[in-house]
Amino acid sequence: MNFTSWGAAEQVTGSMHLIELQDGYRVLIDCGLDYEKDRSSVENEIFPFEPSSIDLVILTHAHIDHSGNLPTLVKNGYNGQILCTSATADLCQILLTDSVNVFLAKNKDNKKNRRGKNEFKHAPLYLHKHVMDTMDRFFCVPFHKKFEARANLSITLIPAGHLLGAAAILLEIQEEDNLKRVVFSGDIGRYNYPILADPETIPDVDYMICESTYGGRLHSKDKTVEEVLIENIKHSCIDTPGRLIIPAFSIGRTQALVYSINKIFAAKKLPPIKVFVDSPLGMAGTDIYRKHHHLLNDSAQAFYQSNGDQFTFDSLDYIETLNESKQISDYFEPCIIISSAGMLEGGRIQDHLYFNLQNYYCTILFIGYCAKGTLGRKLLDGIPMVKIYGRELYVFASIKQTDLFSAHADQNGLLNFIMATPPSKLKKVFLVHGEKSSMQQLAAILNEKEYQVCIPQKGKQFIL
């Protein structure tokens, strides 16, 4: 069989890998948006293969850099099925819909041409109709259930932590007398993450295509999630009558955060402080976490048995309308505000920053990565003044950061995943989904342990 990486090769986003069996059957693993291209531009629209030539798509998880180009694939002629877990399908429904809304929002200032028609500055990559057409192609398989796609190919989805429904994919391919086991890691989660079960390892693998986002890094271990939250809530809302603003991605981080705060209040480790979750997408995502509660980890299940819903408590308010969101700035008691976008690029968090950046009694706690050039990154780099809604604002609020909510395995977690198969059996590890330096650091350690490692270039074909 052949393997070609067409995305997330020597970079993080745009996951898209092709496996072609000896008899010509073609399987695409993931079809994500490449953030290094303009997300709504034609660059994401051009596929290096004919979409109608793909026989099956398998999706590891719902994050847009893995799923966000599926509607483009369908729009351009793919008419097969998209196989994934049902939690992934549910999350895709809201994330792909949100993706269209992001494209459309970019065009809200479009001018009309002389005939009164919209002239798109950034033509949307796809529309709601294409998302609906894509959702019709989803085909759900539970974790661990071997799915016989055809006589020479079976597929098993293995829990990968990271995000609700996220899976590593085990392909078992019969070639003449040989059965080859090929694993695509998708994104591997970290151990002991709030709510999510730990990633599982997969033994006896012949070839592995593994992510390497944090291949060059170890997560800090000196404090727990709970200790960091208690410290920040105490500092911002109890010792001083202020506010704690936590920018968070709506799906995944927000649920982990709400559950962690719920646990602190339920154990009476702090008096209950008002918490606002100001993210409609976050609310929709939370309902999906509730629906698939059987996938949550043992500790979250035990919490449910003794305390009820992990995502509800007395002092918590989910904010729906824009009007309610605006009223939060009039709330004068100490409070915690969880809102998106995580990197502060757009979203309702902008209003909260606008009214609070100049507040000495406000702390902004970053719990995720902020890319270069984003407002989040500027604040983390210590910029003294920023412009929001055309107004220059001093940054008097405290800016803090923790990596404890990162949903990716660090170097040790990745090594643990790969080394479940010894180097004598694992013929080659392909590293993808990482910056080059992370890949090289992980590759060096694997080489020392006698693994054969390759960092594939985009479009280069390998025989497995």
Is 253 near Zn ion (CB under 5 A)?
no
Give yes or no for residue 190 binding Zn ion (CB under 5 A). Answer: no
Stretch that binds Zn ion, among 11-19, 187-195, 201-209, 223-231 (CB under 5 A): 187-195
Q: Taking CA 294 as the corner, what is the angle to CA 167 and CA 414, rounded to the nearest 5 degrees?
A: 30
Contact 417, 409 (CB under 8 A): yes
Contact 221, 410 (CB under 8 A): no
Largest CA distance in the chain: 72
Rounded CA-CA distance 288/302 in Å is 19
Contact call for residue 408 and Zn ion (CB under 5 A): no
**Cβ distance to Zn ion smaller for residue 319 or 409:** 409
Residue 60 near residue 30 (C-beta atoms within 8 A): yes
Cα 124 to Cα 106: distance, rounded to the nearest angstrom: 9
Q: Which amino acid is at 329?
A: S
Report whether 257 contacts 338 (CB < 8 A).
yes
Nearer to Zn ion, 100 or 188 (CB): 188
State yes or no: residue 98 binds Zn ion (CB under 5 A).
Answer: no
Q: Count residues near Zn ion (CB under 5 A).
A: 2
Regarding 351 and contact with Zn ion (CB under 5 A), the answer is: no
Residue in the block written with tokens 């704690």: 244
Q: How far is the CB of 252 from Zn ion (least distance, A)?
A: 8
- Asked if residue 278 binds Zn ion (CB under 5 A), the reply is no
Nearer to Zn ion, 400 or 408 (CB): 408
d(CA 403, CA 219): 7
Q: Which is nearer to Zn ion, 35 or 462 (CB)?
A: 35
Rounded to a whole number of angstroms, the minimum distance from the CB of residue 92 to Zn ion is: 12
Closest separation between CB of residue 279 and Zn ion, Å? 18
The helix-helix angle for 86-106 and 128-135 (nearest 10°) equals 170
Count CB atoms within 10 A of the CB of residue 132: 14
48 contacts 459 by C-beta, under 8 angstroms: yes
Instruction: Report, in Å, the least distance between residue 211 CB and Zn ion.
Output: 8
Stretch that binds Zn ion, among 147-155, 180-188, 371-379, 445-453 (CB under 5 A): 180-188
Cα-based angle 366, 263, 410 (whole degrees, multiple of 5): 45
CB of 63 to Zn ion, least distance (A): 4
End-to-end CA distance of the chain: 6
- Cα–Cα distance measured from residue 425 to residue 27, given in angstroms and rounded to the nearest whole number: 24
Candidate residues 30, 187, 211, 403; the one interacting with Zn ion per rule CB under 5 A: 187
Instruction: Using the rule CB under 5 A, give the single segment among 181-189, 196-204, 271-279, 288-296 that binds Zn ion.
Output: 181-189
CB of 128 to Zn ion, least distance (A): 23
How near is the Cβ of 400 to Zn ion at its closest, in Å? 24
In one-letter notation, the amino acid at residue 347 is G
**Quick one: 124 or 189, whose CB is closer to Zn ion?**
189
Listed ranges 63-71, 224-232, 268-276, 424-432: which one lies at the site for Zn ion (CB under 5 A): 63-71
Which amino acid, residue 220?
Answer: S
Phi and psi at residue 58, in whole multiples of 5°?
A: -120, 130
User: In this complex, which beta carbon is closest to Zn ion, that of residue 13 or of residue 356?
Assistant: 13
Can you tell me whether residue 338 is helix, strand or coil?
strand
Closest to Zn ion by CB, 189 vs 216, is 189
With respect to Zn ion, which residue has the nearer C-beta, 187 or 206? Answer: 187
Q: How far is the CB of 380 from Zn ion (least distance, A)?
A: 21
Please select the residue that binds Zn ion; options are 63, 106, 181, 348, rule is CB under 5 A: 63
Compare residues 62 and 429 and give the one whose CB is closer to Zn ion.
62
Smallest separation (angstroms) from Zn ion to the CB of 158: 15
Q: Which residues bind Zn ion (CB under 5 A)?
A: 63, 187
